Amino acid sequence: MSMANLEIEQAAGSNDAWFVRRGAGTPQDGLAALFRLMGVAEASPHATAPITTRRVRAGVALFHEGTCAQAVYFIAVGTFKLMHTAEDGYEQVLGFAGRAEMLGYDALCQRSYPTTAVALEDSTVYALPAADLFGLSARVPALGRVLHLAASRQMLHQVEIAHLMAAVSAEVRLARFLLQLSDHMAERGQSPRRLYLRMSRRDIASHLGVAHETVSRSFGALASWGCVAVNNREVEILDRERLLACASNTRGLVHPRCGAAADGPRLARAQAAFG
Amino acid sequence: MSMANLEIEQAAGSNDAWFVRRGAGTPQDGLAALFRLMGVAEASPHATAPITTRRVRAGVALFHEGTCAQAVYFIAVGTFKLMHTAEDGYEQVLGFAGRAEMLGYDALCQRSYPTTAVALEDSTVYALPAADLFGLSARVPALGRVLHLAASRQMLHQVEIAHLMAAVSAEVRLARFLLQLSDHMAERGQSPRRLYLRMSRRDIASHLGVAHETVSRSFGALASWGCVAVNNREVEILDRERLLACASNTRGLVHPRCGAAADGPRLARAQAAFG
DNA sequence: CGATCGTTTGACGGTGCTCAATCACCGTGG
DNA sequence: CCACGGTGATTGAGCACCGTCAAACGATCG
């Protein structure tokens, strides 16, 4: 197949052209690439959809909050951070998105994007025009399915994020965040042990709902407990069991009955992590 | 029209029958009712879909986390709380859902529901079978659109919840929660001033990520500042401007430059609310 | 009317936020 | 080559908000 390594072509494609129309001669190329990215077998080989490819440099916004919703995007390569700017100017990081994740879907029910998506590294996305998205979804059933599945997966991701925020302790939140990152890496076939954090400490802090100094301290705590090794943005998970034990402390100590329990909260938590 | 007050019929319908097959003679009744509920004009008058109606008593779960995903639900009347039970048994309230909101969509990308939905009052839902949901969505384009719009709205709701959690102060979180509730009431044509909280303080506390005693104290604080009047589960918004001012404090005080700013943190915040 | 649950209020201790300084890294220009 | 400013990460000190424990109060239902 000539499109066996299509994404690699696109990833290494021309640097200066930001908008690239795919498949002028073979209109199903963009659609096929999207189906392959999302891991579904295309049902209708002669279906067509006006899918374009867009490259975004690190630090550049794919779309801004409040701007007119023109497209729904699928990340082919790269990482994005999604954020929400409050009226007072405070920037809240809602989450991070990687390969095969969908962006901008939440803009469908209104005219503008409710969030801003910023590339954390040089990235490539597929763009589906939002204007006739419902028509496309009806004409190409497989595309409708891809959209539904991606939307459903995104909601599942929100549950994980809620689980993150449920922890009261900063170390537990960070541990859960790292484990989620590790799982997402594993899903994409990457190493779940060695992580390279594309986002800054400030972004992590905003996402976890703590001060960025606290993130540094929590990294130090996890490292001193032997869970991870941290060197700036390189994180290696040394002891996954221990990290899991640390991440499973929802609230002080879980069931009050299930152990000798809370002596000094901090000490008890550290011991639980070692136990 | 004979179906002008269809929901009312269903809400006051037979009490003992939990599953009610709608429209044995006229198969499009369920679909038409769903379209009316979601506020879209049905495009295809002769379309059909196996939509059933289900009534759920207060305190009963519509579906449990981990059980096989059988249907996607739309709330016709009533209120639900969505929660996630962690491995350690800790129950985290993810949010609340009311009329015209969708439940169970996040189960589509896997075989089971990731969350539990519990009715907070006697409620009625429309059920779409999950098995051939993609087929239905393809055969009835308007239904696909309803699903996409509802999913998109749900994601928008998640952004609001993230905005909730972005606040560090308990009073600010509660103020934002009340304002969101007020807005949702207004969207459904109800009074945005007088709220009756269907959920307990514990549920609110879990949702806001604070202790339930703190929720009580925060209610007291908002009341003492003249923002609201609280009587058990009845809440009246006395001064919306003041409540908004209180809710807009993201972090201590927003831009350090924008005022005389932080004297005593607590005092400064209270004054900002009065300013 | 008693029992159970939900709500409120109090006191205390700890965690994390704020403020601040230091260090590491980097691209620039002298 | 080194000085220089800028950004990001780390570490420290102090204090206030909130979580925990505890008890009183109120509501609802049998």
- Flag whether pLDDT at B114 surpasses 80: yes
Residues in chain A: 275
Going by CATH, does the domain composed of A168-274 fall within 3.30.465.10?
Answer: no
pLDDT of residue A38: 94
Pair A115, A87: CB distance under 8 Å:
no
- Flag whether pLDDT at A140 surpasses 50: yes
For A162, the closest of B84, B152, B154 (CB atoms) is: B84
The fourth-level CATH superfamily of domain B6-161 is: Jelly Rolls (2.60.120.10)
pLDDT of residue B122: 96
Residue type present at position B22: R
Residues with Cβ < 8 Å from A24, sequence gap 6 or more? none
User: Which nt is closest to the CA of A169, judged by C1'?
Assistant: C15
pLDDT of residue B225: 95
Q: Indicate the domain borders of chain A.
A: 6-161, 168-274
Pair A116, A203: CB distance under 8 Å:
no
Write out chain B residues lying below 8 Å of A92, CB-based: 162-163, 166, 250
Q: Which pTM value belongs to this model?
A: 0.85
pLDDT band with cut points at 50, 70 and 90 for residue B262: very low
Asked if A152 lies within 8 A of B152 by C-beta distance, the reply is no
Look up tokens 């509730």; give the residue.
B181
Between B75 and A11, the higher pLDDT residue? B75
pLDDT of residue A44: 67
pLDDT of residue B221: 96
Distance CA B73, CA B63 (A): 10
Distance CA A139, CA B95 (A): 35
Percentage with pLDDT > 70 across chain A? 79
Tell me the CB-side half-sphere exposure of residue A46, using CA atoms within 13 A: 0
Q: Strand C: which positions are within 7 A of a protein CB? A: 6-11, 14-20, 25
Best-predicted range by mean pLDDT (A56-70, B5-19, B35-49): A56-70
pLDDT band with cut points at 50, 70 and 90 for residue B45: low
pLDDT of residue A47: 74
Cβ atoms within 10 Å of A263's Cβ, excluding its own: 10
For A114, the closest of B108, B154, B159 (CB atoms) is: B159
Distance CA B193, CA B240 (A): 8
Q: Strand D: which positions are within 7 A of a protein CB? A: 8-13, 16-22, 27-28
Instruction: Determine the distance between B196 (CA) and C8 (C1') in angstroms.
Output: 19
pLDDT of residue A273: 40
- Flag whether pLDDT at A251 surpasses 80: no
Mutation for B interface: A82, A158, A164, most B CBs within 10 A: A158
Q: What is the DSSP letter of B68?
A: B
Asked if B250 lies within 8 A of A90 by C-beta distance, the reply is yes
Pair A253, A178: CB distance under 8 Å:
no
Write out chain B residues lying below 8 Å of A151, CB-based: 105, 148, 151-152, 155
Q: Is B106 on the interface with A (CB under 8 A)?
A: yes
How many interchain CB pairs under 8 A, A with B? 136
- Flag whether pLDDT at A199 surpasses 80: yes
pLDDT of residue B84: 96
Q: Is B248 on the interface with A (CB under 8 A)?
A: yes
Between B127 and B23, the higher pLDDT residue? B127
pLDDT of residue A40: 86
pLDDT of residue A198: 96
Between B45 and A37, the higher pLDDT residue? A37
Asked if A106 lies within 8 A of B251 by C-beta distance, the reply is no
Element of type H or E holding A31: helix A29-38
Average pLDDT, chain B: 84
Q: Do domains B6-161 and B168-274 have the same CATH topology?
A: no
Distance CA B62, CA B56 (A): 7
Min distance B250 CA to chain A CA atoms (Å):
7
Mutation for A interface: B44, B110, B159, most A CBs within 10 A: B159
B28-50: average pLDDT: 81
Q: Is B165 on the interface with A (CB under 8 A)?
A: yes
Q: Is B254 on the interface with A (CB under 8 A)?
A: yes
Pair B34, B104: CB distance under 8 Å:
no
Percentage with pLDDT > 70 across chain B? 79
Centroid of chain to Cα B135? 28
pLDDT of residue B30: 82
What's the first-to-final CA gap in chain A, in angstroms? 53
pLDDT of residue B113: 98
Residue type present at position A204: I
- Flag whether pLDDT at A32 surpasses 60: yes
- Give pLDDT tens digits for A5-27: 333 333 333 333 344 444 344 44
Mutation for B interface: A72, A90, A269, most B CBs within 10 A: A90
Instruction: Determine the distance between B270 (CA) and C13 (C1') in angstroms.
Output: 25
Percentage with pLDDT > 90 across chain B? 71
pLDDT of residue B110: 94
Structure-block tokens of residue B264: 């005593």
Percentage with pLDDT > 90 across chain A? 71
Structure-block tokens of residue B221: 């604080």
pLDDT of residue A43: 64
Pair A150, A105: CB distance under 8 Å:
yes
Min distance B96 CA to chain A CA atoms (Å):
14
Nearest residue to nucleotide C8, by CA–C1' distance, is B216
Structure-block tokens of residue B236: 């009246």
B94-122: average pLDDT: 97
For B90, the closest of A109, A110, A251 (CB atoms) is: A251
Pair B93, B50: CB distance under 8 Å:
no
For A109, the closest of B156, B248, B250 (CB atoms) is: B156
Residues having Cβ less than 7 A from any atom in strand C? A 168-171, 209-211, 213-214, 232, 264-266; B 168, 200-202, 212-213, 215-217, 219-220, 230, 232-233, 251-252, 256, 262
Cβ atoms within 10 Å of B124's Cβ, excluding its own: 21
DSSP chain A: -TTTTHHHHHHTS-SS-SEEE--SSSTTHHHHHHHHHHT---S-TT-----EEEEE-TT-EEE-TTSB--EEEEEEES-EEEEEE-TTS-EEEEEEE-TT-EESGGGTTSSB-SSEEEESSSEEEEEEESTTHHHHHHH-HHHHHHHHHHHHHHHHHHHHHHHHHH--SHHHHHHHHHHHHHHHHHHTTS-SSEEE--S-HHHHHHHHTS-HHHHHHHHHHHHHTTSEEEETTEEEES-HHHHHHHHT--SSSSSTTSSS--SSHHHHHHHHHH-
pLDDT of residue B123: 96
- Flag whether pLDDT at B230 surpasses 60: yes
Structure-block tokens of residue A68: 């007119």
